[in-house]
C-alpha cells in the first residue's frame, strides 16, 4: 500500500477529515488533495458570523494548520478537476495536467443555487459560500446602510443577524409563507420571526423578487407585488446544489447526490464520496438522504477513509445541525420531516430558551433546542437508541432533563 496514490478532489470539511482518517487507518501511500481555492480546508459556518464581523482571520478558520498536513505527508494542489477517467484511473486538471490514482475520494461539496435575476451582476449583489464571497461583501457592510437578504433559511437568517449586529438596516425577503418553512415547524418559524423583529430586522414572507435594479451599483430590489426595497447590499441565500457533474460524466450513479453505500463507496470499487455531494442510506430513518452539515461530512469521511484502507466501518450517525443567531444557539437533533406532533418544553412565546420535540406516532424523531444543550443531548440519545418517551413528561419543566428517560 505504500506506493499507492489516493487523490481527494475537494478541500472541504469532508476532505480534511478523510485525509486525516486515511493516515489514522494506516494508509502509507501518497495522499494528494486538490482544491479550487487558494486555501487549505477551512470551517465554513463562521464565514457569515465571526469572519464577516472581522473577529477572525483566515488562519483562525483553518480546520488544521499547514504544519499538520506537512507532518502527515498530505499534499495540497490548487486546481480544478475537469475529467475523471475511470478506465485509466487518471484525472485531468484545468491546466491540462493529469494525475494517476489507485483510490479516489470525491469531496466535491455543493455550490450556491443561483437566482438568475435581472441585475444579479450589479456591484453590491452577492452570494455567500466561501472566503472570497465574504471578502467581496465586507466593503459593503457599513453602519446605517441598507441590506436586503433574499431567502429566509438558516443562512439568510444568520447573515441577517450578523449584519444587524454590525449596524446595518436589514430586510429579509422570503418566498414561502414563513421563514424556515422547509425545515421546521410553524412554532419555530414564529419564534425566529419574533426574535429578528425584536432586533430590528424587517421580515417579509410570500415575496417573489422580480429583479434587482440599479445602474452599475445595486439600488433596490423589486418584487412581484410592485414593492421596492432600497438596498446598498443584496445577499442571495436560496440554497445550494450538490456538485455531481464530475461523477456523472464519469458514469458513477447519481441521484440527488453521488450514490454511496454505508461505507461511502460508489458503484466503482476504487472511488468513494463523502459530504454535501453524497447520497447515503440512513439506517435510523430507513431511507436515502443527502445532508448538508459539518457533522455529516466528518462522520461520512471517516467511513469512506476506512473503506479505502479495506476496513468496514458503516456510517450510521444521527443527523445533527446547529445555527447561531444573536445570543441564540440552536442545536438540531435528527430530521423533523413527517412529524405529526410538536411538543414544546419551555416558553417559546416570550422566552429565548426552549426545546421543540417532533414526534411521529408517539416516537421522537427530531428536536430543535434553543439554548438547551441538555435537551439536545437527551434527544440524540432517545432517537439513536429508539427509546420510548412520555409526551406529557417531555413538556413538564418541573421534571429534570436527566429524569425524562426513566
The class (CATH top level) of 327-403 is alpha beta
Burial of 402 (0-12, 13-18, 19+ CB in 10 A): exposed
- The three-class DSSP label of residue 336 is coil
pLDDT score at 1: 58
Cβ–Cβ under 8 Å, residues 131 and 58:
yes
Write the DSSP symbol of residue 42: B
pLDDT score at 397: 94
Q: Do domains 5-111+241-308 and 125-236 have the same CATH topology?
A: yes
pLDDT score at 402: 87
Cβ–Cβ under 8 Å, residues 355 and 379:
yes
Per-position b or e across 176-206, b if 16+ CB within 10 A of its CB: eebbbbebbbeebbebbbebbeeeebebebe
Alpha carbons 187 and 398: distance in angstroms, whole number: 22
What's the half-sphere exposure (Cβ side, CA atoms, 13 Å) at 248?
9
Cβ–Cβ under 8 Å, residues 16 and 65:
no
| Closest C-alpha among 96, 102, 87 to residue 8 | 102
Paired with 354 in beta bridges are 346, 370
CA distances from 325 to 141, 164, 168 (A): 18, 11, 15
Cβ–Cβ under 8 Å, residues 36 and 59:
no
| Closest C-alpha among 393, 362, 364, 396 to residue 381 | 364
The correct CATH number of 125-236 out of 3.40.50.150, 3.30.390.30, 3.50.50.60, 3.60.21.10 is 3.50.50.60
| Closest C-alpha among 386, 209, 274 to residue 18 | 274
Domain edges within the chain: 5-111+241-308, 125-236, 327-403
- The backbone region for 151, taken as left when phi is positive above 0, alpha when psi lies in -120 to 50, beta otherwise, is left
Q: Give mean pLDDT in consecutive 10-residue pieces for the chain, a chain of 406 residues.
A: 91 97 97 97 93 92 97 98 98 98 98 96 97 96 98 96 97 98 96 98 98 97 97 97 98 98 97 98 93 96 98 95 95 96 97 97 97 97 95 93 84
Instruction: For residue 192, give every residue at least 6 positions away whose Cβ sits within 8 Å of its Cβ, in sequence order, or none.
Output: 157, 179, 180, 325
Positive or negative, the Cα torsion across 347, 348, 351, 357?
positive
Q: What is the CA radius of gyration of the chain?
A: 22
pTM: 0.95
CATH topology of domain 5-111+241-308: FAD/NAD(P)-binding domain (3.50.50)
Cα(first)–Cα(last) distance of the chain, in Å? Answer: 50
pLDDT score at 406: 64
Alpha helices (H) along 50-101: 58-61, 66-71
| Closest C-alpha among 309, 344, 262, 395 to residue 26 | 309
Cβ–Cβ under 8 Å, residues 197 and 172:
no
Alpha carbons 323 and 319: distance in angstroms, whole number: 14
| Closest C-alpha among 347, 352, 345, 292 to residue 322 | 292
- Torsions phi, psi of 333, nearest 5? -105, 125
Amino acid at each position: 500500500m505504500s506506493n499507492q496514490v489516493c487523490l481527494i478532489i475537494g478541500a472541504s470539511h469532508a476532505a480534511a477529515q478523510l485525509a486525516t482518517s486515511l493516515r489514522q487507518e494506516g494508509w502509507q501511500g501518497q495522499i494528494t488533495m486538490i482544491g479550487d481555492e487558494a486555501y487549505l480546508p477551512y470551517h465554513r459556518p463562521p464565514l457569515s458570523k465571526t469572519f464577516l464581523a472581522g473577529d477572525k482571520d483566515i488562519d483562525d478558520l483553518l480546520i488544521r494548520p499547514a504544519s499538520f498536513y506537512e507532518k502527515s505527508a498530505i499534499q495540497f494542489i490548487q486546481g480544478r478537476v475537469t475529467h475523471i477517467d475511470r478506465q485509466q484511473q487518471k484525472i485531468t486538471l484545468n491546466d491540462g495536467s493529469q494525475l494517476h490514482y489507485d483510490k479516489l475520494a470525491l469531496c466535491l461539496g455543493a455550490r450556491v443555487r443561483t437566482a438568475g435575476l435581472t441585475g444579479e451582476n450589479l456591484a453590491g449583489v452577492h452570494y455567500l459560500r466561501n472566503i472570497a464571497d465574504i471578502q467581496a461583501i465586507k466593503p459593503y457592510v457599513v453602519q446605517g446602510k441598507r441590506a436586503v437578504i433574499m431567502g429566509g433559511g438558516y443562512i439568510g437568517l444568520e447573515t441577517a443577524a450578523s449584519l444587524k449586529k454590525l449596524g446595518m438596516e436589514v430586510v429579509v425577503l422570503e418566498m414561502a409563507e414563513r421563514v424556515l418553512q422547509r425545515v421546521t415547524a410553524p412554532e419555530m418559524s414564529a419564534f425566529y420571526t419574533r426574535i429578528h423583529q425584536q432586533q430590528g430586522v424587517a421580515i417579509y414572507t410570500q415575496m417573489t423578487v422580480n429583479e434587482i435594479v440599479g445602474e452599475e451599483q445595486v439600488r433596490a430590489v423589486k418584487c412581484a407585488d410592485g414593492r421596492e426595497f432600497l438596498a446598498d447590499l443584496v445577499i442571495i441565500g436560496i440554497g445550494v446544489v450538490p456538485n455531481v457533474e464530475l461523477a456523472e460524466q464519469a458514469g458513477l450513479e447519481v441521484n440527488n447526490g453521488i450514490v454511496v453505500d454505508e461505507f461511502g463507496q460508489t458503484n466503482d470499487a476504487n472511488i468513494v464520496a463523502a459530504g454535501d455531494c453524497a447520497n447515503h442510506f440512513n439506517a435510523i430513518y430507513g431511507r436515502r438522504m443527502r445532508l448538508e452539515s459539518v457533522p455529516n461530512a466528518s462522520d461520512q469521511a471517516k467511513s469512506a477513509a476506512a473503506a479505502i484502507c479495506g476496513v468496514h466501518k458503516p456510517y450510521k450517525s444521527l443527523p445533527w445541525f446547529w445555527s447561531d443567531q444573536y445570543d441564540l444557539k440552536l442545536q438540531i437533533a435528527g430530521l423533523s420531516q413527517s412529524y405529526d406532533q410538536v411538543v414544546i418544553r419551555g416558553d417559546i412565546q416570550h422566552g429565548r430558551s426552549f426545546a421543540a420535540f417532533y414526534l411521529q406516532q408517539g416516537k421522537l424523531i427530531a428536536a430543535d433546542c434553543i439554548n438547551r444543550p441538555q435537551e439536545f443531548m437527551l434527544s440524540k440519545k432517545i432517537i439513536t437508541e429508539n427509546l420510548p418517551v412520555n409526551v406529557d413528561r417531555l413538556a413538564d419543566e418541573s421534571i429534570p432533563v436527566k429524569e425524562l428517560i426513566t
